[in-house]
Amino acid sequence: MAWRGVHITQPSRLSLADGQLVVTRDDGDVRLPIEDVAWLMIDTPQVTLSTALISACMDAGMVLITTDRTHTPSGMMLPFHRHHRQAEIAALQIAISAPLKKRLWQTIIQMKIANQAAVLTGCGQSASALLAMARLVGSGDPDNTEARAARAYWPRLFVDFIREDGSDKRNALLNYGYAVVRSAVARALVAAGLLPAFGVNHASITNAFNLADDLVEPFRPFVDRLVWRLTDTGRTRTGETTVEERRSLASLPTEEALFADDTVTLLVATERTAESLVRAMEGNSAALLLLPRLDG
């Protein structure tokens, strides 16, 4: 079972040998069993890959993430759907009713806001307003409580922060972390036989990952908490992102989360979330959707 990630930041050649991912650099080789690797992030343009390795990565259900010249994640490669009930689950997903979609979105946003509240609690901030808002989220979130919660959340988490400010280092780190977690969610959806393009709330005709953008929402606060830690409790807003910071963010799927009665990694949480979404669709009940909880 895949459980680890690989983050490449130095000039390397990646190849396949005896079922292993081989990373060749000037100082020698590193070998990892393909079946152990869930995500591979290439964070430098000075990397070459063999087609044999790419094929093996897809066969193993791995997600491959690339970055652009600013070290911002810019793309990902996923395997074709390989679930043994692929057509059945896809038909079920496409046929779910509008009321169920709205109830699923309500559940997702309630957990997102609850996790944001847990982040604030862990950072020594008051979370009472967010907890109250989480209880007010209606089916489909018609009052856009998600946005109202965001307006209460960000000023308490980060000093002098504007989410749309592209010059703010904290935004660069957030976007990097969100891309990592989104990739893990997309990988889990494919593994569960779901079609990432068909969301329960997101419905852009140009977005191939609408469903991933739905389910990633409760995972975002885990990224926020790590960025708060990496930026001197949310105060550092200038400078370039460092390799060490990006490596920490690339390791997010190994962070711990509460899930039902267990403590699991975020990677496992993405898999269980996707599996529970299938059960929720089969049972026509949003109550069957399970999501990760952040311990504040």
pLDDT number for residue 197: 95
pLDDT number for residue 83: 74
pLDDT at 84 over 80: no
pLDDT at 90 over 80: yes
261 in a structural domain: yes
Indicate if 26 and 111 belong to the same structural domain. Answer: no
Average pLDDT over residues 254-260: 96
Indicate if 184 and 227 belong to the same structural domain. Answer: yes
Indicate if 247 and 129 belong to the same structural domain. Answer: yes
pLDDT number for residue 108: 98
Indicate if 169 and 67 belong to the same structural domain. Answer: no
pLDDT number for residue 2: 86
Indicate which CATH number applies to the domain containing 158. Answer: 1.20.120.920
126 in a structural domain: yes
Model pLDDT for residues 23-33, shown as the tens digit of each residue: 999 999 999 99
293 in a structural domain: no
Assign residue 239 a region (left: φ > 0; alpha: ψ between -120 and 50; beta: otherwise): left
120 in a structural domain: yes
User: Residue 203 belongs to what domain range?
Assistant: 86-288
295 in a structural domain: no
- Give the Cα separation of 169 and 159 in Å (integer): 12
From 31-35, 68-72, 184-188, the region with the lowest mean pLDDT: 68-72
Work out the pLDDT band at 251, boundaries 50, 70, 90: very high
296 in a structural domain: no
Q: To the nearest whole percent, how much of the chain has pLDDT over 70? A: 99
pLDDT number for residue 81: 66
From 85-89, 154-158, 243-247, the region with the lowest mean pLDDT: 85-89
Mean pLDDT of the chain: 95
Which tokens is 251 given? 């390791």
Indicate if 49 and 185 belong to the same structural domain. Answer: no
Indicate if 92 and 192 belong to the same structural domain. Answer: yes
Indicate if 63 and 118 belong to the same structural domain. Answer: no
Indicate if 150 and 269 belong to the same structural domain. Answer: yes
Average pLDDT over residues 175-192: 96
Which tokens is 247 given? 């490596």
- What is the number of domains present in the chain? 2
Work out the pLDDT band at 86, boundaries 50, 70, 90: confident
- Give the Cα separation of 190 and 210 in Å (integer): 13
106 in a structural domain: yes
Domain end, chosen from 32, 57, 77, is at: 77
pLDDT number for residue 133: 97
Indicate if 264 and 151 belong to the same structural domain. Answer: yes
Domain end, chosen from 48, 77, 106, is at: 77
Average pLDDT over residues 211-224: 98
> Residue 64 in 3-state DSSP?
strand
Indicate if 158 and 39 belong to the same structural domain. Answer: no
pLDDT at 129 over 90: yes
Indicate which CATH number applies to the domain containing 14. Answer: 3.100.10.20
- Give the Cα separation of 153 and 286 in Å (integer): 26
Indicate if 64 and 90 belong to the same structural domain. Answer: no
Q: Which amino acid is at 266?
A: L
Average pLDDT over residues 98-110: 98
DSSP class of residue 53 equals H
Indicate if 69 and 208 belong to the same structural domain. Answer: no
Domain end, chosen from 77, 112, 136, is at: 77
Average pLDDT over residues 69-81: 88
Residue spans of beta strands (DSSP E) within the chain: 4-8, 12-17, 20-25, 28-33, 37-42, 47-49, 63-67, 73-77, 256-259, 262-265
